[in-house]
Structure 1
Amino acid sequence: MNIFSFTANFDSEASCIAHFKAHRDKLGVVCKCGHTEHYWIKSRLSYECKKCRKRITLKSGTIMQDSNLSFMIWYKTMFLLSATKKGFSSKEIQKQLGLKRYEPVWAMVHKLRKAMGNRDDKYTLEGMIELDEGYFTVESSEIEQSKGIRGRGAVGKQNVAIMAESTPLEDIETGKTERQPRFFKAKVLNSHNAKEINETIEDNIDEKSIVFTDKSTSYVDIADFIELHVTEKSNKETTKETLKWVHITISNAKRNLLGNYHKIKGKYLQLYLNEFVYKLNRRYFGDQLFDRLVIANITGL
């Protein structure tokens, strides 16, 4: 969706509310009593359960819950986040929205990033999976403090597991088979040990999958959690072929985060990765990406 389409479709608070309600009605509203049929009270922007008469606001149960910001502000922010591959910093979004206070914008953007991650967590990778780890630069986090690094602008490295789901495709003319990327996941790790890697595998990869890695000692137990574990010694050839897409993703993610946000605290790194991976997994959605983000808003609490 471009800026002209957005302003044509969402030119008022009422149009944003109508669009949001249409998506929420389609997904279904469930009362605490379990009933799914409601009356709509337009003056209160609330649903009233036909069974117990309890009211549920339009924002309730979504990531907009308890937010005093208007639907229009939320919609403009979702548009900005979905309009480009690179995204915007909270400071830039604040500037574009013309808001005086930074804190509400920062909180809103991080809520959306959390919703993106929660949406992707609903799915597991399957088939042929590439797995490796990358070290991302972070600023003034618990990592630096534990290592005794002090001072403004102190930086350290945060370990991140990157998983790339790929599928082999054969060129009809040459007969050459190449693996092409499908979906991705990125998970911040607290340590570089087998236990946490195993937990990451269990949470994010289907047990019938084939996983390709290098020969790191952290991967010794992976075979216990999936169908087949294939290992290769880490070298330039492995990076270009066996683990090609996972290394491209690590490189692109680092460049994207550094270029847009410059300095990221370790405790927020997962949220920034959520946004990067969410867009990467939906890179062919085009104009539908905005609507998908609205759905993530509703279901991502």
Structure 2
Amino acid sequence: KQCHHRQSLRSGTVLENSKLPFMYWYAAMHLLTSTKKSYSAAELQRQLGHKRYQPIWEMVCKLRDVMGKRYNLYQLTDEVELDNAFIATLIAEEEKDKPLKRGIGSQRQPKAVVVNESSFVENPKPGKKPKRVNHLKMLVIEDLRADTISKTVNEHVNPKAELTTNDATPYSKLFEQVKSHHAQAIKKEDLPKTLPWVNIAIGNVKRLLLDVHHQLTNEYLQYYLNEFCYKFNRRYFGDAFFDGFLIAAVSYNTDFRSRIYNRNSCG
């Protein structure tokens, strides 16, 4: 009122600056929250009956960006497991002319830190895990240096947490960030006992990206990890899942900006 400027109902929400109808956004939010897995942008385009792929893909990426903003509000605490993951993607346009690296530095395998809260179960049932999982986070990082890992843990893990990792060099400084850090050499066969839920989450998200999303590049990987973690952390919400997501959508603006044009598929 003071600036005498007309304000849209979309202002300050994820819908700001979008020309797509409100019903497109509601339908997309409903479909994204109606399944444990995900919908590709191409499938959403087909469901909505829209002619162009690009606006639908951008809409879904904005919703996934909001998911990330929502679950980044809190830090993980109590018993925390941490490991890194390498997720296969397409090479970005600016990297295509460079020689393809192998191993950890490969352009086709961006690095992510995976952390989750868990609590020990006193008398687990036969066939059940010794730990009960709570919240999960997956964060794309530039490299696996000790300073990068420490900075990520400082932002997303509560200082009072008890952290469990393997004894890899990038985790050597984590004892400075948390109450206690249990670093140990873990054999492959012991992973289900020591870091059970982190490795299950890594396997599940890799399978999801391969099954549903195609032609995914490094630049946009974090948005897809946001969706996976947001759904995982709200797996028991039931019918309230859509209502909570709608509140998040109107509470946050988005930083998403696309540099992809005239594409037919991007996951």
Verify: 1:188 aligned to 2:140, yes or no: yes
Identify the match of residue 165 of structure 2 among 189, 205, 213: 213
Q: Is the 8 A contact 1:143 1:156 kept in 2?
A: no
Contact 1:139-1:266 at 8 Å conserved across structures: yes
Contact 2:40 2:213 in 1 (8 A): yes
Instruction: Flag the 1:267–1:149 CA change in 2: closer, same or farther, 3 A.
Output: same
CA contact (8 A) 1:171 1:177 kept: no
The residue number in structure 1 matching 2:265 is none
Task: List 4+ stretches of structure 1 deviating above 6 A.
Answer: none
> Residue 171 of structure 1 aligns with which residue?
123
CA contact (8 A) 2:129 2:196 kept: no
Task: Report the number of matched residues.
Answer: 248
| Larger strand proportion of the pair | 1
Report the CA distance shift for 1:116/1:156 in structure 2 as closer, same or farther (over 3 A). same
Q: Is 2:212 the partner of 1:256? A: no
Identity %: 38
Q: What aligned pairs does 1:1-301 form with structure 2 within 5 A after superposition?
A: 49=1, 55-141=6-92, 145=96, 148-149=99-100, 156-171=108-123, 178-301=130-253
Amino acid across the alignment from 1:210: E
**Structure 1 pair 245/172, CA: closer, same or farther in 2 (3 Å)?**
closer
Deviation at 1:116, TM superposition (A): 0.3
Q: Distance in 2 between matches of 1:295 and 1:61?
A: 12
Give TM-score scaled by structure 1 length.
0.77
Which has the greater radius of gyration?
1
Are residues 169 and 95 of structure 1, via their aligned partners in 2, closer, same or farther at CA, if it must alter by over 3 Å?
A: same
State the distance in 2 between where 1:210 and 1:271 align.
28
What per-residue deviation string (whole Å, max 9, x for no partner) do you get for residues 76-130 of structure 1?
0111111111111111100100001111101100000000001011111001100
Q: Read off the aligned partner of 1:223 and give its amino acid letter.
A: F
Q: What SS does the corresponding residue of 2:17 show, helix, strand or coil?
A: coil
State the one-letter code of the partner of 1:89: S
Distance (whole Å) between structure 2 residues aligned to residue 120 and residue 177 of structure 1: 25
Report the secondary structure of 1:258's partner residue. Answer: helix
- In 2, are the aligned partners of 1:133 and 1:161 still within 8 Å (CA)? yes
Shift, 1:263, TM fit: 2.8
- Give the deviation of 1:54 after TM superposition: 5.3
Does 1 or 2 have the higher relative contact order (CA < 8 Å, sep 6+)?
A: 2
Paired letter, 1:296: A
Counterpart secondary structure, 2:139:
strand
Question: Does 77-86 or 141-150 show the bigger shift?
Answer: 141-150
- Separation in structure 1 between the aligned mates of residue 7 and residue 214 of structure 2, nearest angstrom: 40
Secondary structure, aligned partner of 2:116: strand
Q: Which blocks of at least 5 consecutive residues in structure 2 are unaligned?
A: 254-267
